[in-house]
A and B are shown apart, each in its own frame.
Chain A
Amino acid sequence: MNAHLLPTGSAYFITKETDAPERHTLSVLVDNEPGLLARVVGLFSARGFNIESLTVSETEHDKGLSRITVVVVATPKVLVQIKLQLERLVPVHKVHDLTAEGASLERELALIKVGGSGEHRAETLRLADAFRANIVDATTESFVFEVTGKPSKIDSFISLMVPLGLIEVVRTGVAAISRGPEGM
């Protein structure tokens, strides 16, 4: 749903958005306080913005600050609104659009459970090695791999595991940071 066209369910905005949606990663510096995450998530749902991935954790305990990494898919116009609306929240310090502001790094961790026996097990291990996946649990009928990397790398590892007996996957969501000496 396009938030710009339907800000409050009103059909008044009948102009068609012509720009194509883009995937952007935002880094949000916030006061770590109760209800903060609900505030951010509530803003996205109230204004019809879509969240692709969301990662939250306290990063500076002394200052009581957390960093939220949120991946969104939206048109350029809506992206600006998302940033500005986030900045309106009282506990939000800064919002950086890492995708728009130059080079950045994205990493994600996944735990992937794969079943199988015989030939399949050997192939599974060869591929895991190629993806530098660690074996964190093993039984005679299964492995649990820990993979870190770009989301696209995890996507391809998972798709390779499907025919080999993929059982289930958990992913942390994206953590992202800008390249170079500058901090947020």
Chain B
Amino acid sequence: MAEQMTGAEMVVQALIDQNVQHIFGYPGGAALPIYDAIFQQDSVQHILVRHEQGATHMAEGYARSTGKPGVVLVTSGPGATNAVTGLTDALMDSIPLVCITAQVPTTLIGSDGFQECDTVGITRSCTKHNYLVKRVEDLPRVLHEAFHIATSGRPGPVVIDIPKDVQFALGEYTRPEADGFRHSSYKPQTQGDLEAIKVAVEMMLRAERPVIYSGGGVINSGPEASKHLRELAELTGFPVTSTLMGLGAFPASDPQWLGMLGMHGTYEANLAMHDCDLMINIGARFDDRITGRIDAFSPDSTKVHVDIDPAQINKNVRVDLPIVGDCGLVLEEMVRLYRSITNEPRTEAIADWWKQIEGWREVKSLNYTPSETTIKPQYAIARLYEMTKDRDVYITTEVGQHQMWAAQHFHFDKPNRWMTSGGLGTMGYGLPAAVGVQVAHPDALVIDIAGEASVQMTMQEMSTAVQYRLPIKIFILNNERMGMVRQWQDLLHGGRYAHSYSESLPDFVKLAEAYGGKGIRCDNPAELDAAIQEMLDYPGPVLFDVLVEKDENCLPMIPSGKPHNEIILPDTANIGSIIDEKGRQLV
């Protein structure tokens, strides 16, 4: 069974044994033995990035769109520190990553060697787990264990730091099936407590104003979980809303869909959360963007919380019925138990509730004032959606107003089609994430809905897209502002726009051409459709510079320190007077 090979060869062999087809990386001195091993094989394709942060976001996009772990390979020192943002992003959004970092030889560790940094020290708090492998004997076990930890339970990033001498050392390689798991205590609970699930179903059968609040956990659990969520919704007739991370788990085209909830969620979703009598949280973590003011959060509801991570239970919001387990398995049991009692949806019992929800829907909180002279950002996304909805489309975003508009106006019917940085809010996520998605799905349409500020943070990865002929479309809503910052300055700081406008912007068309891609610009609503079509028809990477209305606010919005029922609607004239002194301190 055991084969003799070098540590570097073990890394490659373990990737092959873990069915890894693509890795994202950047070479450097300490990583050279691994790169040499990669050079001598054809099973694993290495995608050369332009910056290590790009590699981590590509791996995130790859992971999120496939359900498989994303793999990153970087060198010591700056290679590792550049990866930190992406690792933290993956930790916050529960994305399975395995990041291999090279390290200076064990004899030099601690000597302030060239390109040395304390990688395990730096990444301890931004990984699910990390390893420094000082002996080649430990390497095969650690490599396999890392994949197991990254992908099981609540997924997350795992770092393996491998000193250069360990990469050169000869040792015995063991296959993944060899039983050598070091951490016997690591056993995530996946099966939910049946008694608790029974109680949850009984609650559903009594509820008069229920709402299902689903999150990223349903996506992470896999396509089966989304299927069971749809079954449960159909079976019960309950309305469904979801967090930013959960979009796509429930089809946006379904009449039971309320739209996204939270700070920029729809009026109907947030009011339903506020006034419900039963809240069924499946795979979400009561994030502060969701709850708003916590002591006024859904005051009269009984709360059920399904989460694979026990530490999320009662962390922010006290719940009445916690169920620790995998969302997919718990949903399956819920459906089965509900069916064993009745096949009837609670149509009549919740008819009044639906009537109330329809009333909230009438508010049409996502409406915006159209314009014939300037392109409204919402209009741009709505047109992009209309022109691509029949295709196999994957959307990534950067962070800010455009991200929220994309969540509001682009509609998802399938899971794994929406890649965005939710927890950490990383500007610069979307372009490399799109590259990662395109690597995994070469024939799909992959679009990064971007802002002109965010996209410049990782613009260099355009070069990666060109190198590997990845036809990603970068759809920049260019308002020459850091729009969300500007909006908050309007809300909180008297419209004093400190450093929230972009001067000296590059000519994105020329920039695209300089990289070897295609550039398109459009500032006329009447020409937008034709320009989008031009983007879609081009077989390579495109930077599309959409010049949009500069001072549009992203609404609706639950301002800081306010409960859900004090949401600001689009017809509000002066948003500068809404937030009080206390609310101003909040983020």
Q: Are A42 and B125 in contact (CB under 8 A)?
A: yes
Residue in A closest to B182 when the chains form the complex, CB atoms: A31
* CB of B2 within 8 Å of the partner chain: no
B560 cross-chain contacts in A, Cβ below 8 A: 12
Which residues from 292 to 345 on chain B have a C-beta closer than 8 Å to any C-beta of chain A? Answer: 293-295, 309-311, 313-316
Residue in A closest to B295 when the chains form the complex, CB atoms: A15
Q: Are A80 and B314 in contact (CB under 8 A)?
A: yes
* CB of A92 within 8 Å of the partner chain: yes
B293 cross-chain contacts in A, Cβ below 8 A: 14
Q: Which one of B164-172, B367-375, B579-587 is at the A interface? A: B579-587
* CB of B504 within 8 Å of the partner chain: no
* CB of B132 within 8 Å of the partner chain: yes
**Size class of the contact patch on chain B:** 20 to 34
- Within the complex, the shortest CB–CB distance from A121 to chain B, in Å, comes to 47
* CB of B15 within 8 Å of the partner chain: no
B295 cross-chain contacts in A, Cβ below 8 A: 14-15
Q: Are A14 and B582 in contact (CB under 8 A)?
A: yes
Q: Are A31 and B120 in contact (CB under 8 A)?
A: no
Q: Are B586 and A84 in contact (CB under 8 A)?
A: no
Q: CA A167 – CA B33 in complex, angstroms?
A: 57
Q: Is the interface of A mostly helix, strand, loop or mixed?
A: mixed
CB < 8 Å: which of B129, B183, B586 contacts A14?
Answer: B586
Q: Are B294 and A81 in contact (CB under 8 A)?
A: no
Which residues from 13 to 53 on chain A have a C-beta closer than 8 Å to any C-beta of chain B? Answer: 13-15, 31, 33-35, 38-39, 42-43, 46
B96 cross-chain contacts in A, Cβ below 8 A: none
Q: CA A11 – CA B579 in complex, angstroms?
A: 15
Q: CA A107 – CA B587 in complex, angstroms?
A: 45
A126 cross-chain contacts in B, Cβ below 8 A: none
Q: CA A175 – CA B121 in complex, angstroms?
A: 27
Q: CA A12 – CA B129 in complex, angstroms?
A: 28
The 0/1 profile, CB within 8 Å of B marked 1, for residues 69-106 of chain A is 00000000100110011011111111000000000000
Q: CA A88 – CA B312 in complex, angstroms?
A: 11
Q: CA A35 – CA B159 in complex, angstroms?
A: 14
A11 cross-chain contacts in B, Cβ below 8 A: 585-587
Q: Are B132 and A87 in contact (CB under 8 A)?
A: no
Can you name 18 extra interface pairs (CB under 8 A) apart from A10-B288, A13-B316, A35-B121? A7-B316, A11-B586, A12-B288, A12-B586, A12-B587, A13-B294, A14-B582, A31-B182, A42-B124, A46-B125, A87-B310, A88-B309, A88-B311, A90-B129, A90-B183, A91-B183, A91-B185, A93-B184
Closest 10 CB pairs of A and B: A84-B311, A93-B185, A12-B288, A15-B295, A90-B129, A11-B585, A90-B186, A11-B586, A15-B294, A90-B183
17 pairs, CB–CB < 8 Å, chain A vs chain B: A7-B315, A10-B586, A11-B586, A12-B288, A13-B288, A13-B294, A35-B124, A38-B121, A43-B125, A77-B314, A85-B311, A87-B310, A88-B309, A90-B129, A91-B183, A91-B185, A93-B184
